[in-house]
Structure 1
């Protein structure tokens, strides 16, 4: 694979070039593909460095090589289009040649895109909180998911937050998995009411950890495991062991350090999908909450209006209207 403009500097502060990025992907290709391959994926591309213009590629662009395939997926609007899928190291390097920095894989596999095989929960620190505040929430979430029969895996987001994943049988479509995530989020909020919130509207969250349940929706993605982030520190979204959680920080894991870490410690997510669980218990919690008057939550603004959804009106604006 020829890399054009190999000396172009993408991370100015660290002097990391486009060729450095491509080399990184070769070095981490095995765990990268294990985590992100064989899934519909969106490519976050940058026309210059990470501070330049950016855009997303979902459909195969003109000139896509034969070894980069695509599968038809259905978006929230009901439209169906082919979406890129990566299967081999050359595909990742091709994406780097196309100025891709961040990879956003779906929670479902290419062969069954409508049914996720991962339950994903995004712990998003709000203003006044940071990475340290995500740790107790993540540990409690791990215990909660274990009660629901699920084995949790964790990675840094590459920024300030944490991503908690649990492998599941691909037997339910996205809306069901969303409801399972909401059930887990509400239970976590009940157990940690002063530290965790499920409020969609920022003005109601306070200095708490927001459990972003909307990341469980169709066509909603997180930065993939081992994917770089477009941040000055060149951090990557790093899978870690649970016993590392309280001793690491996001900046420990970068394009420069991750190959060495993998060589010395291996991939913490190597066996993630060996024993997937089900969301049956979480769905029973969802039904319990429905019976107790807790219904659907707000969807993102680009989604069609969904059954049972509350008004998509910011609370302060709703009060002014009233």
Structure 2
């Protein structure tokens, strides 16, 4: 596998063992290639992760080997990487790493971490999200172009409510749009805002957008995955490498690029050149903070005028107050009764 190497990152020396271990056989990318990539985009990914409790998606033997999500900070965590205690829906707690410098990213890469999954909170206020994250997820029969059409309508909707979103590719066929917000609301409030956005997009783009939690009801549409805003649900960070054979990355975009972008063009090999040319196009995100009052008022109108209350949580969640029945529609119906919406 080759002898260990040492990489310098912001005044920190990080030791990388087995640097020649192949992580992406299809492309031949090694562990050292991964670490050097993260060093190249260091300011960008550090901006995306800074002070955020972060789950590590680890592939110690590469994308063709076994993987796992590491939520709790490893026992051998260096004392220069801070942690924060976060609470899971179950009521249990864990201390997660909170990167503050690129050295922490390289240290995680040494452990085989490909993708970083930061919480939408900072370590000094872990119960109050500072980002509204909107996940535009293409369902079978749809693709990136369909997500782009929805993203433009989403941009218009956000603008109407005095909000601004920063788009990025998911690393697959979808798009993510992040809105920095004041950390004044709970996870429940932020999720309620995401549901309101999804329902409004569903109304404006009937037949093209869905908020249906059950896959059997979604059809060939773009799913607004509102549950990505629930506590302990995370989205891959900007610049994270995704565990697919061609080593794609989640690429930050400006709105003028969204139409012509091709997600497969952003990968471990191509992103460094793009970054060297234009830098982190989301660098100004932390300079802005928006309020959710208008979206929460929209949620109130949905409930008051149309009877649209809460929606199902993920299956591993405890039953939540006001949540509708969490049963797949096709299994909930009585014999001989036609399917009904939840």
Q: Counterpart of 1:173?
A: 186
Deviation of 1:268 (Å):
1.3
List gaps (5 residues or longer) in structure 1: none
**Is 2:302 aligned against 1:278?**
no
- 3-state DSSP of counterpart to 1:2: strand
Q: Distance in 2 between matches of 1:197 and 1:266?
A: 35
1:132 to 141, 145, 152: 145
After the TM superposition, which segments of 4 or more aligned residues of structure 1 sit over 3 Å from their partners?
A: none
Separation of aligned partners in 2, 1:61 and 1:248: 37
SS at match of 2:58: strand
**TM-score calculated relative to the size of structure 1:** 0.98
- Which residue is equivalent to 2:277? 264
Partner in structure 1 of residue 126 of structure 2: 113
With normalisation by structure 2, the TM-score equals: 0.92
Aligned to 1:50: 63
- Cα offset for 1:67? 1.5
User: What RMSD over aligned residues (CA atoms) do the two structures have, in Å?
Assistant: 1.0
How many Å separate the matches in 1 of 2:280 and 2:118? 18
List runs of 5+ in structure 2 lacking aligned partners.
Answer: 1-13, 338-342
1:97 to 90, 101, 110: 110
Structure of larger gyration radius:
2
Kindly report which structure 2 residues correspond to 1:111-260, keeping only aligned pairs within 5 A, or say none.
111-260=124-273
- Mean Cα deviation higher: 193-202 or 66-75: 66-75
Among 301, 314, 323, the alignment partner of 1:300 is: 314
CA distance in 2, matches of 1:300, 1:264: 41
| Aligned partners of 2:60 and 2:113 also within 8 Å | no
Q: Quote how far apart the aligned CAs of 1:275 are.
A: 2.2
2:32 aligns to what? 19
The number of aligned residues is 322
Tell me if the contact between 2:170 and 2:250 (Cα under 8 Å) persists in the aligned partners.
Answer: yes
Partner SS state of residue 215, structure 1: helix
